[in-house]
């Protein structure tokens, strides 16, 4: 690596970018103007964002208990002791209850209420039926009659007799023909409209407040203390410091905003440095220079990182100063609650956010550079931004969930672990951050390294750098696919097959739901998923898009030593796989609903013959999944020397094909090992053997434990029974690792024919 060449390329690209006025405006001027303008707009909008009073009509106010009236003669709420003042929230109008009785008059009132709500004359209607006061009296009388003078029954029934909380009432929403309420109160509202819904909620607040006042008055009249309603209160003490409380909201919002700006700030310069140079015709000159491709990538990468960091920093500082101004303005405007919620952004939080920015900018810049290299034009490159954002946003948004926190499981998630770490540092939890710092640093470094390696690989590929723009024509595309068929699938066909499999499984899971009706349902659903959704797309594509389906599925001659090693490896690797699955379940706990479903599944499986369970759950998945993932898809991704690409991508697809998160992680890690075997052995025979033995051992041990079988005495050195399950002994677990390493070394050795087969696939 000649760093002098890297520096020359960096200065060249940086100078070219700074000459572009659009880039300078987007990176520097726009952040400085954007947030002040947004702050001004918020202050202007805040002037109109006053609480609007809800218009409520009360029909039958004369039926309200006279001893504790709800409204006065001016239709204003009467504040009884303990009631909440809602006069600023609600405007009331009252109508007397119609004198004509009968079903027709009730329907007529409902129709009129619905019409007035639809025309925005009122927001909600409260019906106070003639029997309301009598209902209160009758319930109180019944309660009193059943007491011995202590008044306890009065209290118990009084809380539920007067008015039920509005949350427990059935609201009538545009429905004519509703019968009168049994309690004497009924609210008519249109919950599809915000004003009407808010009016209903405020009516609930008013009625709950009146109910508390009514219960207090009844207790007082019975000679009891109204404090019985609320016999005690709880004093809460907040242990959070002022700096932490002021940063609570910002710690959730700012990392997401800053990382989004870092990604967008990296992507547009990356497009110009790749697709833009292709359009200008200057990329060929740069590639023909003495600089190596890796040096060119590093020079461009440093340029993209510079603009990514600059964009994010300027946005952060502009947001910081604007937020500080807005908070002070809110305090002066007499809105302390909102000002306290926002809070000033602590200066130490800015420092920690800048620390977060550096590794994430490097990661996003390398990703943007690698993806931008695929684009044949600037217009095409801009289309790639949205998929990249859709993949990145869930990782950035995950820390905003209230149930998520920094632990070993979340620290292993790229981007998410880094955001959690910075949140812990901002909130002053330094010991927690120190514990998981090595894990986060290691994961982030691996992500940066892989993304940089991918970018270099893209620039070293002539087919990527010099692709020509093609016009879309379905007829020509089909003709091209049939005419230019080869022995193995193309990379595009392999990725398409993987996408079809995942989408099909996703919709099949939605259609099937979580209910499985017995063993027949398990067997049929497994057959559908494995044969129809996983294997069939690859079989059809191998027939129509390749010249040799056998070679496309990578069914080649296999070395005898590889087969023997695969038989032993399937047994030797299972203890490690079991321990890995247990560790994953400890990191990411299975939810209670999923545990119940898995328990039902295991019960249904345990009641079936072992041979049938092995055929459906061990042999069938091993055959179908290996032919699809390590066969057709792996062969297509292996072309043009993409061994690492084939191993990683197929393992990810293999993991996503499993429905449970814990299974997906374990399957993805197992897929890396199976991909290595598929590459070194030149086919799928050995991976089918290893996969089959691994599935057989997992299913057999679980079936034996569920049917209360004890391990054979001859295997007591390797397996023992504990807590209704079969577990490997520490001795065999240790020896199996050494045996697996030895057998893997044997699988790494190829004979001449296997070497030719692999070289032909990678050509």
Residue 249 in this model has a pLDDT that exceeds 70: no
Region 44-62 average pLDDT = 73
Cβ-based neighbours of 26, under 8 Å, separated by 6 or more? 268, 311
> What pLDDT does 151 receive?
34
C-alpha span between 457 and 297 (Å, rounded): 10
143 confidence band (pLDDT: 50, 70, 90): very low
Residue 100 in this model has a pLDDT that exceeds 70: no
Region 735-762 average pLDDT = 83
Lowest mean pLDDT among 22-36, 141-155, 189-203, 436-450: 141-155
Residue 184 in this model has a pLDDT that exceeds 50: yes
Structure tokens at 380: 């095409």
Region 596-604 average pLDDT = 82
> What pLDDT does 148 receive?
40
Residue 625 in this model has a pLDDT that exceeds 60: yes
C-alpha span between 113 and 105 (Å, rounded): 12
Q: Which residue has the tokens 């398990």?
A: 522
Q: Report phi then psi at 183, rounded to 5.
A: -90, -10
For the chain, the structural domain boundaries read: 3-46+240-465, 52-228, 474-762
Sequential DSSP letters for 673-698: HHHHHHHHHTSSHHHHHHHHHHHHHH
Sequential DSSP letters for 544-591: HHBS-HHHHTT-----HHHHHHHHHHHHHSHHHHHHHHHHHHHHSPPP
Region 541-548 average pLDDT = 88
Average pLDDT, the chain: 80
At 387-434, the pLDDT tens digits run 888 888 888 878 777 777 888 888 888 888 888 888 888 777 888 888
Residue 696 in this model has a pLDDT that exceeds 80: yes
160 confidence band (pLDDT: 50, 70, 90): very low
Residue 99 in this model has a pLDDT that exceeds 70: no
Residue 180 in this model has a pLDDT that exceeds 60: no
Question: Under a CB-based contact definition with an 8 Å cutoff, are residues 757 and 488 in contact?
Answer: no
C-alpha span between 522 and 475 (Å, rounded): 42
> What pLDDT does 330 receive?
60
C-alpha span between 93 and 56 (Å, rounded): 6
Residue 168 in this model has a pLDDT that exceeds 50: no
Region 202-218 average pLDDT = 83
At 499-534, the pLDDT tens digits run 999 999 988 888 776 556 788 888 888 999 999 999
For the chain, how long is the longest CA-to-CA vector?
103
Residue 321 in this model has a pLDDT that exceeds 80: no
> What pLDDT does 661 receive?
84
> What pLDDT does 716 receive?
86
C-alpha span between 251 and 255 (Å, rounded): 7
> What pLDDT does 468 receive?
62
Residue 763 in this model has a pLDDT that exceeds 80: no
Residue 149 in this model has a pLDDT that exceeds 60: no
> What pLDDT does 166 receive?
37
CA-angle at 35, arms to 29 and 41, nearest 5°: 125
Residue 169 in this model has a pLDDT that exceeds 60: no
334 confidence band (pLDDT: 50, 70, 90): low
Residue 347 in this model has a pLDDT that exceeds 80: no
Give 442 or 192, the one with higher predicted confidence.
Answer: 442
Residue 178 in this model has a pLDDT that exceeds 50: no
Region 562-572 average pLDDT = 91
Q: Are strands 90-95 and 725-728 parallel, antiparallel or unpaired?
A: unpaired
Residue 153 in this model has a pLDDT that exceeds 60: no
* Calculated CA dihedral for residues 208, 210, 211, 212, nearest 10 degrees: 90
Closest by CA to 419, choosing from 359, 367, 344, is 359
> What pLDDT does 529 receive?
92
Q: HEC states along 624-635?
A: HHHHHHHHHHHH
C-alpha span between 698 and 440 (Å, rounded): 32
Question: Under a CB-based contact definition with an 8 Å cutoff, are residues 80 and 59 in contact?
Answer: no
C-alpha span between 495 and 675 (Å, rounded): 16
Lowest mean pLDDT among 58-72, 169-183, 192-206, 520-534: 169-183
> What pLDDT does 395 receive?
84
Listed in sequence order, the DSSP H helices in 49-151 are: 103-118, 132-145
Q: What are 54's strand-pairing partners? A: 90
Q: Taking the CA of residue 563 as centre, how many other CA atoms within 13 Å lie in the half-sphere pointing to its CB?
A: 6
Region 738-761 average pLDDT = 83
Lowest mean pLDDT among 15-19, 163-167, 474-478: 163-167
628 confidence band (pLDDT: 50, 70, 90): very high
652 confidence band (pLDDT: 50, 70, 90): very high
Above pLDDT 90, what percent of the chain?
16
C-alpha span between 748 and 78 (Å, rounded): 87
> What pLDDT does 6 receive?
86
Listed in sequence order, the DSSP H helices in 20-171 are: 21-24, 30-48, 103-118, 132-145, 152-161
Lowest mean pLDDT among 358-367, 393-402, 461-470, 748-757: 461-470
H or E segment to which residue 128 belongs: strand 124-128
693 confidence band (pLDDT: 50, 70, 90): very high
CA-angle at 96, arms to 93 and 100, nearest 5°: 145
> What pLDDT does 470 receive?
56
Highest mean pLDDT among 31-45, 94-108, 425-439: 425-439
> What pLDDT does 655 receive?
92
C-alpha span between 652 and 224 (Å, rounded): 69
Residue 623 in this model has a pLDDT that exceeds 90: yes
Listed in sequence order, the DSSP H helices in 461-517 are: 462-465, 474-483, 491-512
Q: Report phi then psi at 68, rounded to 5.
A: -145, 70
Structure tokens at 156: 């118990």
Lowest mean pLDDT among 189-193, 303-307, 314-318, 673-677: 314-318
Cβ-based neighbours of 112, under 8 Å, separated by 6 or more? none
Question: Under a CB-based contact definition with an 8 Å cutoff, are residues 489 and 642 in contact?
Answer: no
Region 731-741 average pLDDT = 91
Region 452-479 average pLDDT = 72
Give 48 or 308, the one with higher predicted confidence.
Answer: 308
């Amino acid at each position: 690596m000649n760093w002098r060449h890297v520096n020359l390329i960096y200065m060249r690209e940086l100078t070219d970018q700074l000459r572009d006025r659009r880039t300078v405006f987007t990176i520097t001027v726009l952040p400085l103007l954007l947030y002040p303008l947004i702050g001004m707009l918020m202050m202007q909008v805040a002037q109109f964002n006053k609480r609007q009073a809800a218009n409520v009509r009360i029909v039958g106010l004369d039926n309200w208990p006279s001893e504790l009236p709800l409204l006065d003669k001016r239709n204003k709420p009467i504040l009884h002791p303990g009631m909440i003042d809602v006069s600023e929230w609600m405007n009331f109008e009252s109508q007397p209850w119609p004198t004509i009785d009968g079903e027709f008059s009730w329907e007529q009132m409902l129709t009129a209420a619905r019409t007035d709500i639809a025309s925005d004359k009122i927001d909600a209607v409260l019906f106070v039926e003639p029997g309301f006061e009598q209902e209160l009296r009758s319930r109180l009388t019944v309660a009193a009659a059943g007491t011995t003078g202590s008044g306890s029954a009065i209290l118990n029934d009084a809380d539920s007799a007067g008015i039920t909380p509005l949350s427990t009432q059935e609201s009538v929403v545009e429905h004519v023909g509703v019968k009168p309420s049994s309690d004497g109160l009924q609210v008519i509202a249109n919950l599809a409209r915000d004003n009407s819904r808010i009016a209903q909620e405020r009516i609930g607040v008013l009625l709950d407040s009146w109910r508390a006042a009514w219960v207090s008055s009844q207790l007082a009249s019975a000679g009891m203390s109204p404090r019985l309603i609320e016999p005690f209160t709880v004093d809460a003490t907040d242990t959070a410091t002022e700096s932490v409380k002021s940063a609570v909201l910002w710690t959730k919002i700012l990392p997401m905003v800053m990382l989004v700006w870092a990604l967008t700030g990296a992507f547009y310069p990356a497009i110009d440095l790749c697709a833009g140079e292709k359009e200008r015709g200057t990329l060929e000159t740069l590639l023909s220079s003495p600089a190596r491709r890796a040096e060119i990538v590093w020079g461009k990468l440093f340029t993209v990182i510079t603009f990514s960091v600059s964009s994010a920093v300027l946005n952060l500082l502009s947001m910081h100063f604007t937020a500080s101004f807005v908070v002070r303005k809110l305090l002066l405007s007499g809105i302390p609650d909102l000002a306290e919620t926002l809070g000033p952004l602590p200066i130490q939080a800015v420092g920690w956010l800048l620390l977060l920015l550096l590794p994430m900018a490097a990661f996003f810049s390398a990703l943007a550079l690698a993806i931008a290299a695929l684009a044949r034009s600037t217009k095409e490159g801009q289309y790639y931004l949205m998929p990249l954002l859709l993949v990145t946003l869930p990782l950035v948004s995950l820390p905003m969930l209230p149930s998520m926190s920094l632990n070993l499981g979340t620290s292993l998630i790229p981007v998410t672990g880094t955001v959690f770490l910075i949140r812990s540092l901002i909130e002053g939890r330094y010991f927690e951050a120190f514990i998981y710092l090595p894990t986060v640093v290691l994961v982030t470094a691996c992500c940066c390294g892989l993304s940089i390696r991918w970018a270099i690989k893209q620039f070293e590929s002539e087919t990527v750098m010099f692709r020509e723009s093609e016009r879309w024509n379905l007829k020509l595309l089909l003709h091209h696919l049939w005419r230019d068929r080869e022995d193995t699938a193309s990379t595009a066909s392999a990725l398409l097959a993987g996408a079809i499999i995942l989408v099909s499984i996703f919709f099949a899971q939605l259609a099937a739901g979580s209910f499985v009706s017995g063993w027949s349902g398990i067997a049929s659903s497994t057959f559908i998923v494995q044969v129809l959704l996983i294997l069939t797309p690859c079989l059809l594509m191998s027939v129509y898009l390749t010249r040799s389906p056998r070679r496309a599925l990578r069914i080649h001659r296999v070395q005898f030593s590889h087969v023997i090693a695969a038989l032993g490896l399937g047994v030797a690797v299972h203890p490690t796989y079991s321990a890995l699955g247990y560790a994953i379940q400890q990191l990411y706990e299975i939810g209670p609903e999923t545990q119940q479903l898995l328990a039902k599944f295991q019960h249904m499986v345990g009641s079936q013959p072992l041979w049938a369970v092995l055929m459906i759950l061990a042999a069938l998945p091993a055959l179908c999944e290996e032919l699809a993932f390590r066969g057709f898809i792996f062969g297509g991704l292996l072309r043009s020397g993409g061994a690492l690409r084939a191993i990683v991508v197929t393992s990810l697809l293999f993991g996503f094909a499993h429905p449970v998160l814990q299974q997906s992680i374990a399957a993805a890690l197992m897929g890396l090992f199976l991909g290595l075997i598929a590459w070194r052995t030149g086919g799928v025979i050995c991976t089918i053997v290893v996969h089959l033995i691994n599935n057989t051992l997992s299913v057999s041990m679980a079936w034996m434990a569920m049917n209360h079988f004890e391990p054979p005495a001859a295997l007591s050195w390797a397996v023992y029974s504990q807590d209704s399950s079969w577990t490997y002994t520490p001795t065999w677990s240790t020896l199996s690792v050494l045996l697996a390493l030895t057998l893997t070394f044997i699988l790494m050795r190829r004979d001449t024919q296997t070497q030719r087969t692999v070289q032909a696939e990678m050509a």
